[in-house]
Amino acid sequence: MELSEKVVLLTGASGGIGKSLLEHLNGNVKILIGSGRKNLQDFTRIKESDKFNYMPMDLTSEDNIKFLFSYIIEEYGRLDITINTIGGSLFSHNIEDFPIEEYDKVMNTNLKTAFMLTKESIKYIKRNGEVGGNILHFVSSSARDISPGKAPYGISKGGLESLIRYAAFEAAKYNIKVNGISPTYVFTERHEFEIQLESRKSGVPIGDIEKKKIEGQLLKRKLYPKDLFPLVDLLINTEVITGQIYDCTLGKTLG
């Protein structure tokens, strides 16, 4: 099946990489179902159509996830691809000072939600028979690199890497391919706005702040969401790659 013939679920679609992917995939797949915390009109000019359906909901809730998947099957009859971009570091503390309720929120957002999405995706994509399907998660270089004050985030993303490998192992018998993309700092709209705010508060020029963000990279350029599109297209359509996490760090891991 070509990508234009597939039913695709995109989570975390209301911001960051997810928003960019929504705009990239809209019109290029048979059916695109997006889900995020914001209402559609609050973050994009894209309108719902017979090929695009958006459902605002909190996917840290298992009931919401089950409802979302059952709705997709009832409405469209199948699911071929799940792309999960949900994530966030949320808080910043040293381990000794990290409140457990904040730790739980980070883990639920980044790992528990990914587990539940994977669980439901396998359950429904396996109905496609030998055609199978694809699951793609967005990880983070923080799974391996140290981000000061972000231990729970790094732990949750490290767990997501393990989830990808276990899911790939278990889902292979259904021809479901499970992979991940692990980027370094991505210059999304939100991140660029945060850099502007930091510059105004600190008096440090934007260029100097950006230079600090990319100093560990071998390739001294900013990573934008659109730079990830070719790899996304490969991993949601591949028939021969599974259980892999692709580092998109512009050489940071080598540096």
pLDDT tens figures, 63-97: 999 999 999 999 999 999 999 999 999 999 999 99
The pLDDT of residue 253 is above 80: no
pTM: 0.95
Average pLDDT over residues 190-209: 95
The pLDDT of residue 11 is above 90: yes
CA distance 225 to 187: 7
Domains defined along the chain, listed by start: 3-186+223-248 (3.40.50.720), 190-222 (no CATH)
Closest by CA position to 111, among listed 82, 139, 148: 139
CA distance 82 to 186: 21
Distances (CA, A) of 131 to 39, 126, 203: 34, 9, 56
CA distance 6 to 11: 16
Closest by CA position to 37, among listed 63, 52, 67, 59: 59
The pLDDT of residue 119 is above 70: yes
pLDDT attached to residue 255: 63
Tokens 């192992």 belong to residue: 169
